[in-house]
A and B are shown apart, each in its own frame.
Chain A
Amino acid sequence: MKKWRGFSIKRFRAILVKEFTQMRRDRLTFAMMLGIPLIQLTLFGYAINSDPRHLPAAVLLADQGPQGRTLLYAMRNSTYFDFVRQVQTEKEGHDLLARGQVQFVINIPQDFSRDFVRGDRPAILVEADATDPAATGNALGSLSNLFNSALQNDLKGPLESLAANTGPIDLRVHALYNPEVVTQYNIVPGLMGVILTMTMIMITGLAITRERERGTMENLLSMPTRPSEVLIGKIVPYILVGYIQVSVILIAAYFLFHVPMQGSILLLMIVALVFIAANLAMGITFSTIAKNQLQAMQMTFFVFLPSILLSGFMFPFRGMPYWAQLVGEIFPLTHFLRIVRGILLKGNTLDDVVRQLWQIALFALVALTIGIKRYRQTLD
């Protein structure tokens, strides 16, 4: 009796073998799995621009005088920048940038005001996370005008002539992680997440509904098997498919788009596993809810569209209204995008990405639990 209560490795293996065999025979699906990434990669040569505001910035203010503060006020008033943190050291600022907690670090050096009044053209350093150029471009572009007009009142006497020539300050912008500001650097890693989301949800979304439509469900249900064996047995083979896609995209990213690969590919592969599992679990859950394959497809798109719109793939995440950001935080794609960009472009390590990874894992767990609960062991 008891032996039958739990999960059976043998039956799980039986389902695994069956799914692998069926997958191998299903040429069209298989071709699609490889075709979709290739087509998408070729199509997405361009980016979509937008004008995000209220970007989080940290400030390292070493200056005691009034001019430094004037600049910060002006920046805040422009609504491009929200100062969320004051840091004490450069390293602290860099850490915030690397984790994506701020988009900019503004560095106002010691004696800035004194040098300014003397007409020494003091330097001000703005470091920007340029992984997503669309997100930072406008904000950075506005800076020089912003500073000049803010300091207008202070430009008196001999400083006036200086202002006319070279500007009263020396604005230095460092575009970190993507110094040439190439949008493809941002798009291509993002595409990995988008493609996985679409194909993985769809493929498992069809898994149970197909059995139901072909009448084989009746047979499967008449066998002594547990929902977890069936569902996990159907998920695992597609993890392999997901990995093939990841590899195709990474190779294309490297050789065709010359996307820099700063971080560990092994780490990326581990993260991808969790992400793939999350999407497969979501698909299988749809599959248990949908009545037929068409419904399963519709549900896939019901999730896919908001995912790409709200995850920060199409539009910079920080440019979206607050409620949209909240919704966006739910999707595994949102977190995966941050991680992939982080690893490839910023060289993030496990420490940097673990917070995002957690959220994907949690999503996978919840989706799978719902799926197993929803899986009907009867035909009615």
Chain B
Amino acid sequence: MKNGDSVIDVHGMTKRFGDRTVVDRVDLDVRAGEIFGFLGPNGSGKTTFLRMLCGLLRADEGSGTCLGHDVINESEAIKREVGYMTQRFSFWEDLSIEENLDFVARMYDVKARRQAVRESLDHLGLAQRRGQLAGQLSGGWKQRLALAACLLHKPRLLLLDEPTAGVDPKARRDFWNEIHHLAGEGLTVLVTTHYMDEAERCHRLAYISRGKLLTHGRVTEVIAHERLTTWAVTGPDLPDLTQKLRKRPGVEQTVAFGNSLHVSGSDAAALEKAIAPFRTDQYEWHQVDSGLEDVFIHLMDGADENSSP
């Protein structure tokens, strides 16, 4: 499979729990060698979608292929070539680091198993602590172990569900460097995250809310697509200003960024009119490019006021 071919190509994926539709007719196309970011508020259906892809949940509707296998009927073939890192640590806490890796390697029938496990331990930097129980690792180290275990059988597709939640900045950077390195070698990665800096490191993104795919594309495309105008303002008593601005038509969202406040709206003219009364000497205003975060918050507010838990 060369770069550019579809690794995930699914249409109309739908999942209901009872009468609640948790994933609602989602189409997704992820190409080989791509790092694809999957974003959305809590409870929007990201985990559910990933589970459907690797056959852990049966889709109620939908069709398509994953790694060339039918996503509905050939989940066993898919499982063999996918590395799925669960959101919650799901390795055996009463097994040691090495035993966990060894178990995974056996289950996937990894060639030269012992050597693969040893290399994985070395790569992780856990060779010294290989006998330690996985349950005794700190949260960040558990994440690293989980990633290492997912990579043991050399999958062609990685499904990572919030792989860096609770991981320190340096480890996070190492992690992303590694992901990029692997993608460079042709591995395809579908990763969910709540971090904007991580979203910006993806080749392409999709944003899902209440089970519906709202937008997708490159970072710049996603931003451009929303046609959001944003002004940054600095000055005294920004909370008070926020209150006043919120009441004005044309102001769709205000977000505090440290000492400045971002004021956004999709109608540039209306927004400019709305802020006009406040463009006094007290405040310093200038127009900025809308960032991903502005766009996502706007998307979230637009989809509904309060995403379900």
**Quick one: CB contact mask for A1-42 with B, threshold 8 Å, 1 for yes?**
100100010110110011001100110000000000000000
B88–A378 CB distance below 8 A: no
Q: How far is the CA of A222 from the CA of B91 in the complex (A)?
A: 12
| Residues 212 to 239 of chain B near chain A (Cβ within 8 Å) | none
- On chain B, the residues within 8 Å of A224 by CB distance are 76, 79-80, 107-108
**Quick one: CB contact mask for A286-312 with B, threshold 8 Å, 1 for yes?**
000000000000000000000000000
The distance from the CB of B228 to the nearest CB of chain A, in whole angstroms, is 37
The distance from the CB of A291 to the nearest CB of chain B, in whole angstroms, is 15
The answer to whether A22 and B95 touch (CB under 8 A), given A4-B80, A17-B106, is yes
A17–B107 CB distance below 8 A: no
Q: How far is the CA of A178 from the CA of B41 in the complex (A)?
A: 74
What residue of chain B has the Cβ atom nearest to residue A5's Cβ? B76
The answer to whether A18 and B99 touch (CB under 8 A), given A222-B56, A224-B80, A378-B57, is yes
The distance from the CB of A31 to the nearest CB of chain B, in whole angstroms, is 16
- On chain B, the residues within 8 Å of A218 by CB distance are 51, 56, 86, 88, 90
A225 sits at the interface (CB 8 A): yes
Bin chain A's interface residue count.
20 to 34
Bin chain B's interface residue count.
20 to 34
B107–A21 CB distance below 8 A: no
A14–B76 CB distance below 8 A: no
Q: Select one of A1, A217, A225 contacting B107, CB under 8 A.
A: A225
A13–B86 CB distance below 8 A: no
Residues of A contacting B: mostly: helix
| Residues 72 to 109 of chain B near chain A (Cβ within 8 Å) | 76-77, 79-80, 82, 84, 86, 88-95, 99, 102-104, 106-109
- On chain B, the residues within 8 Å of A215 by CB distance are 86, 88-90
The distance from the CB of A12 to the nearest CB of chain B, in whole angstroms, is 10
B108–A223 CB distance below 8 A: yes
B55 sits at the interface (CB 8 A): yes
A379 sits at the interface (CB 8 A): yes
- On chain A, the residues within 8 Å of B118 by CB distance are none
Q: How far is the CA of A21 from the CA of B131 in the complex (A)?
A: 13
- On chain B, the residues within 8 Å of A351 by CB distance are none
The residues of B with any CB-CB pair to A shorter than 8 Å are 17, 51, 54-58, 76-77, 79-80, 82, 84, 86, 88-95, 99, 102-104, 106-109
Q: Please name 11 further chain A to chain B contacts, defined as beta carbons within 8 Å, in addition to the given A18-B92, A22-B92, A224-B79, sorted by A numbering.
A: A4-B76, A17-B102, A17-B103, A215-B89, A216-B92, A218-B51, A218-B90, A222-B55, A222-B79, A222-B84, A380-B17
